[in-house]
Amino acid sequence: MKPHPLYFERGAGSRLWDVDGNEYLDFVLGWGPLILGHSHPALTEAVGTQLPLGQTFGSGHAAEYEVAEQICAAYPGAERVLWSNTGTEAVQVAPRLARAATGRTAVVKFEGHYHGWSDQLLLGYRPDTDGALTGLGSRGQHPRSPDDILLLRWGDLDRLREALSGDTDIAAVFTEPALCNSGVIAPPDGLLAELRELCDRAGTMLIFDEVITGFRVAYGGGAARYGVRPDLAVFAKALAGGFPLAAVAGRGELIDQVTAGVVHAGTYNGNPIVLAAAGATLRELARPGVYENFEALGGRLAAGIADAFFRHGRDGVVNQIGPVVQGAPGLTRLDDFAAFLSVDWPDYDRIVVELLRRGIFCLPGGRWYLSTAHTTADIDRAVDAFDEALTATIG
């Protein structure tokens, strides 16, 4: 974080206070989970009610089923839910289910898509030190991690058709339904539907990574927004409003494999405190008008940032999908991963520092998150600060 990490003492609604007493409008939101803002009353009440009743049981409890039913009611095609703790954990069981169901080994993933930091999928997310995109994502990663991953450019349907033709060994195609991790880029028209059709023809599982998009870009996530049902979907971040919870949801016959030899384990899976938070979060998100307001506020922020670039005579692109906004200085288009990599990131780092000086807490990398706690006044204050930050970074 630029210019250095901050240490915070408390948060309320759309605001944070650091240990020195400085107040900030928060557009980081814990890197995404705080979709209700900080310490939402319904969330804290639900957790407070559960705390004296028990922290974990090592067995079943009502919230496991009740919150799973909320997910199945919200997400298109979801029939079963597996609980986990983090997106990276849940992402590991989804390919395992696909491999068990198909008897195949390989998985397709796309450049720029992030599916957690496990050895098997931390590939092609950012360029290697030599500028390549096909190598390992971390020092210490197993050198054979790429062996069973076919890394493709998002939208390269010709390569995907070739990979899925004949006697294919592709068990699953893994994708973010919208490329939120690398530019907040909506899927090209017809892409997800084509992925669905190709996977159906080949008997390959289609897996959506909805860690960012789930319960954020629509109550039914990317599947509802774009009208395409995956076989499996992975959730985290917004699911429990800031508590550590992840889930895999999807077709019953796939997930039921965990009762027939597919191992899915975790001491804290289905923790009652965390599920109390999730139940409260989903109830709040299901209220009428929530997603219409997200669209309005996200659009207002995106338009304000774009107008600021224009007024200052600076190239800059702003993408928006619901309550997720991406700023990209130095560009005239941002519609693929290659364009995202060409953003003037040192310039954006300077903008972030100037925003911080004006009480606006933002992520590096250009992404802004909004919560139900943000108001029109918050957005207007952030846009004014962005305009001032551009003035401060000229030259």
**Which residues are catalytically annotated?**
114, 209, 237
Q: CA 68: distance to chain centroid?
A: 20
* Residue listed under structure tokens 């899915």: 264
| Bridge partners, residue 173, by sequence | 108, 206
Cis amide bond preceding 272, omega within 30: no
CB neighbours of residue 317 within 10 Å = 23
Contact partners, residue 343, CB within 8 Å, separation at least 6: 328, 329, 330, 331, 334, 366
| Bridge partners, residue 360, by sequence | 25
Task: Write the single-letter amino acid at 163.
Answer: A
* Residue listed under structure tokens 């096909």: 134
Q: What is the DSSP string of 85-108?
A: SSHHHHHHHHHHHHHHHH---EEE
Distance CA 120, CA 144 (A): 9
CB neighbours of residue 322 within 10 Å = 20
Q: What is the dihedral of CA 30, 35, 37, 43, to 10 degrees?
A: -110
Q: What are phi and psi of 317, to 5 degrees?
A: -120, 145
Task: Choose among 280, 282, 386, 373: nearest CA to 329.
Answer: 386
- Beta strand 316-321 pairing with 324-329: antiparallel
Q: What is the dihedral of CA 53, 55, 57, 58, to 10 degrees?
A: 170
**Terminal-residue alpha carbon distance, the chain:** 22
Angle value at C-alpha 381, between 386 and 214, nearest 5 degrees: 85
370 in Cβ contact with 378 (< 8 Å):
no
